[in-house]
Amino acid sequence: MIKIKDICFSYSPDDDNPLLALDHIKLTIREGEFVALMGHNSSGKTTLVRCLNGLLIPQHGEIFVDELTTKNPADLLPIRKKVGMVFQNPDNQIVSTSVEREVAFGLENLGVAPETIHRVVHAILQQFDLEKYRQHPPHLLSGGEKQRLALAAVLAMNPKYLVLDEPSSMLDLKGRRDLLDLLLEIKRDNAKKKTTDQTSIILITQYPEEALLADRLLIMEGGTIVYDDSPTVVFQNVDHLKQIGLEAPVEFEILPVLVEMGYGSEVLSG
């Protein structure tokens, strides 16, 4: 379980009047939960997820990842093994000289046996349709391919908490569909596992239809969480979401209009 206990974070904490990118956030993410996170630009989404694996340390409050805390420097390595993060911009993440090395890198750091690494790298590259680029330097890949590689490298390490910061921003329609299938597969697999072995997903997205797949939708605004409920409940706040620069899926916009026109739910369902 990830417990976020009343955290505040500022990029300029020493200013007289520091701007809070995160303003008293309290949140619990349970094992196996699929949580979507939306909010307009600068609302604090990336800052929040960067705190989850200790890339940023809040000036106030504390984050617990299972029994570990990002406050304790000795906990950071084990926290990063548990919290796998796919960054908004894959160029900030890819470090190796070949596609194959990029996927193997994290596994080597975890001390996985070479035969296992070989097997996992092969399987993951096939799954993400990157096998043909095995020896290629990653910087020669397209934006979407880099995003797939970043995701493949993180998934190879089988993190307990999978954090995805707008992972489909550079993907085409097929790439996005494949990603969503993968997330749904993780969700289905969770149902077969003990709670403690389940994978949680935290997905930052600008696509309402992706958020609809989640168990829970958080909306951020000005460094705070303004909604935390099931997506179908949150999306009913069509007008307020518009005011804060977001859109609900089109069916949520149409439904109240139809009801106002006198169509009852029996017409809509049938």
Nearer to ligand ATP, 41 or 269 (CB): 41
**Which one of Mg ion, ligand ATP, none interacts with residue 21, CB within 5 to 8 A by kind?**
ligand ATP
**Which one of ligand ATP, Mg ion, none interacts with residue 231, CB within 5 to 8 A by kind?**
none
Minimum CB separation of residue 219 from ligand ATP in Å reads 11
Nearer to ligand ATP, 36 or 103 (CB): 36
**Which one of Mg ion, ligand ATP, none interacts with residue 11, CB within 5 to 8 A by kind?**
ligand ATP
Is the CB of residue 189 less than 8 Å from the CB of residue 138? no
Angstrom distance (rounded) from CA 47 to CA 21: 7
Minimum CB separation of residue 214 from Mg ion in Å reads 17
Binding residues (CB under 6 A) for ligand ATP: these are 11, 21, 39, 41-47, 88
User: What is the token pair recorded at 48?
Assistant: 């929040």
The backbone region for 229, taken as left when phi is positive above 0, alpha when psi lies in -120 to 50, beta otherwise, is: beta
Nearer to Mg ion, 1 or 55 (CB): 55
DSSP-assigned states of every residue in 17-42: S---SEEEEEEEE-TT-EEEEE--TT
Minimum CB separation of residue 235 from ligand ATP in Å reads 19
| Count of residues that bind Mg ion according to CB under 5 A | 2
Amino acid residing at 163: V
CA distances from 172 to 149, 177, 179, 207, 242 (A): 15, 9, 11, 13, 26
Nearest to 210 by CA among 232, 180, 181: 180
Nearer to Mg ion, 32 or 39 (CB): 39
Minimum CB separation of residue 194 from Mg ion in Å reads 33
Nearer to ligand ATP, 44 or 138 (CB): 44
**Which one of ligand ATP, Mg ion, none interacts with residue 168, CB within 5 to 8 A by kind?**
none
Amino acid residing at 145: E
Angstrom distance (rounded) from CA 217 to CA 234: 7
Q: What are phi and psi of 134, to 5 degrees?
A: -40, -50
**Which one of ligand ATP, Mg ion, none interacts with residue 263, CB within 5 to 8 A by kind?**
none
Residues of span 14-73 touching Mg ion by CB under 5 A: 45-46
Which runs of consecutive H residues, i.e. helices, occur in 110-160?
A: 114-127, 143-156
Nearer to ligand ATP, 21 or 164 (CB): 21
Residues forming contacts to Mg ion in the complex (CB under 5 A) are 45-46
